[in-house]
Amino acid sequence: MKAFRLRQPLKCRPYWIRVALFMFTTVLLSSWVFAGEAPKEKDTNQAAEQIQIVADKLITNNAEKFAEFEGDVRPVREIW
């Protein structure tokens, strides 16, 4: 008994290679198409989208890139 005997004859092998290549190509191209949406274009008037924050105290840490507002904090967004 051969341990690694083929279950299908050799004449079907080229067919399965073509099927596998077709499936691989389809998956590769579909992942490229559905990879993500294009980023939205930024508005020219970004000042209208900015938020002004009024607080009693502001603590910043540039090394860790964060800011902490304490006290009476009021965010204000002006829409033009």
Q: Mind giving me the DSSP string for 43-70?
A: PS-GGGG-EEEE-SEEEEETTTTEEEEE
Question: Taking the complete model, does pTM exceed 0.75, yes or no?
Answer: no
- Position 51 in a domain: yes
Helix, strand or coil for residue 28?
A: helix
What is the residue type of 18?
Answer: R
- Position 56 in a domain: yes
- Position 54 in a domain: yes
pLDDT at 59: 92
What is the residue type of 58?
Answer: L
- Position 15 in a domain: no
Determine the Cα–Cα distance for residues 68 and 61; give it in Å rounded to an integer.
Answer: 9
- Position 50 in a domain: yes
Tens-digit pLDDT string for the chain (80 aa): 566 666 666 666 677 788 889 998 888 877 766 666 666 776 666 655 678 889 999 999 999 999 999 999 998 877 65
- Position 71 in a domain: yes
pLDDT at 70: 92
pLDDT at 44: 63
- Position 61 in a domain: yes
- Position 6 in a domain: no
In the chain, the number of structural domains is: 1
Where in the sequence is the domain holding 51, given as residue range(s)?
A: 46-77
